[in-house]
Amino acid sequence: MEPSPLGIATFEEDLTTGLSFEGRSTQRVTDRYETHGGDQSEYTYEAIEATFSFVTANGTPLDIQVRASNDGIAYRYQLQGDGDVVITGEASSFRVSEDTTGWLLPYDRGYEDSYEEIWTETSAKTATGAYGFPSLFEVEDGSWLFITEADVDGRYSASHLEVDDANDTGSDEATDDNEDTDYDDDPYLFELEFADTYGLPEYVSAERPLATPWRVALVGSLETIVESDIVAALGQPSQIEDESWIRPGRSAWSWWSDSGSPQSYETQKEYVDYAAEQGWEYSLVDRGWDDEWLPDLVEYATERDVGILVWLPWYYMNAEAEREAILDQMSEWGVAGVKVDYMNSDLQTVMEWYDEALAATAERELMINFHGATVPKGRRRTWPHLMTSEAVHGAEQYKFGEVTPTHNAILPFTRNVVGPMDYTPVTFSASDEPPKTTLGHELALSVVYHSDWQHFADSVETYRSYPLAERVLSTVSAAWDESHFLRGRPGEEATLARRSDREWFVGSIIAGDARTVEIPLSFLSDCRRYDAEITSDSLDDQSTLELDRTTVTNSESLSVSAPENGGFVVRFVPHRD
């Protein structure tokens, strides 16, 4: 990353130029915390923090706080004093060279599902327009840059990136006569922009003292980026004292295979029964449920040790009175958690709503999933009952468009890095003809993607027709104690190993030509043999799965053949003589 602009502007004063350097202070930051899900059960964040103090000609102070850790850098602005302040923009930008390759998410500011586009590979030379966070760049062979933001809550607006058209010969450099401060006449500068309303600028209303969200750049190998939890680490500590009621888990879900099924009490009972049979923790009742039978379903599920999750539209919870009423009802019925849909905005007012919804559900010990939402920005550490968020072009899109293997193989390096992802995987009966992904590819998504609520989207009938898949899905976890990136490249392959207690799972998906995936097993414990169960596509008949078994140690490697756009899952269980 090349030298890039810094600075912030308020309604009263431009704090991007004319600053005098006052001094620097430095301290070491060490932060250890436990998690309920995600990639690992505990995390240690260590960094050197430097605060650079400046002052304007008018005597207004501005601090820039910078943290450097082993996996990257983060910086934010601090405005001292007291009283109201209106932030009109930031100069914050990231400059990359023109030959840099990027994996970017097109962001349509006038479109309600801006985080549900298909990820694209492009170059800085051809990139133009708006892109949502996060953004990934290969700056040279083996070196990667990952840009996002963290610790965004109701004190501020969420943001995205914009880059000028490289073919635009005009200059939009800021001048004394131009109050719209676009600091760039370089098309390879990715500039931070606040959320807006259909192109109309929005400002941030805040109170001093103010610390802005962190602007984050992970730097290093793909392993460094995929295994990082920096977005959660930069969030605020947990606001919940007793977290014993927070429980990640796998969930049955009928809406994907039959959108009218949530209207049927009997159908929902079938999905509860199947969840209980498979050992899954939850069953999600989506749009169409009826309050006449929902309490009975909760009781029916509780008797079978299955928690009920309930879909709610955002407008049921927008105003405080409606929110209190519906959440009280959910709590009284014994619902385990809610899936709230249709927020579809990054505005500061919606960020404030997120805070209110999280506090209200935590008060009632209701877990929550944000659908039709912004990407994770650190809230899951502050509110650990936030189990997952959508903000992804996931399996739901089979009902409306397409989901490509290339897109699937980009997500582990981009969207899933910033937090749990409600992709709703393992859709064997997707409507593509012929299917773009194989059975093994779909099954492997249960391991490759992490979500603290992992909603398996296909029907009971479909899963019953693949007993080898049931064998995997009844043992795979939704919460991992340890995770490792093994091999892959965005858009081509993603192979990850994850541990739950004493068992390990490896999931691998590929996009493109058939290949043999060589898996180094050094992540396994020393001085122990493991029984490996390999569930993969049958190379003779791709309408079926096959199971192979072997015994291995951590000094070995394992070779698995995968067909075009295929995948596989390996389960490692400590060997018993």
**DSSP code, position 520:** E
- Which residue among the candidates 39, 116, 227, 341 is catalytic per the annotation? 341
**What are residue 192's DSSP bridge partners?**
161
Sequence-ordered list of residues with C-beta below 8 angstroms from that of 149, at least 6 positions apart, any chain: 133, 158, 159, 192, 213, 214, 215, 216, 377
Position 528, amino acid: R
**DSSP code, position 404:** -
Q: Is 224 left (phi over 0), alpha (psi -120 to 50) or beta?
A: alpha
Q: Are 490 and 414 in contact (CB under 8 A)?
A: yes
Q: Is the dihedral of CA 19, 22, 26, 32 positive or negative?
A: negative
Position 138, amino acid: E
Strands (E) located in 156-203: 159-163, 189-194
Backbone angles phi, psi at 375, to 5 degrees: -70, 155
* CA gyration radius, the chain: 24
341 is catalytic: yes
Strand bridging mode 159-163 / 20-34: unpaired
CA distance 212 to 152: 8
- Which residue among the candidates 63, 281, 396, 452 is catalytic per the annotation? 396
Peptide bond into 434 cis (omega under 30): yes
Q: Are 483 and 542 in contact (CB under 8 A)?
A: no
540 is catalytic: no
Tokens standing for residue 150: 């963290």
Position 429, amino acid: S
Catalytic residue ranges: 341, 396
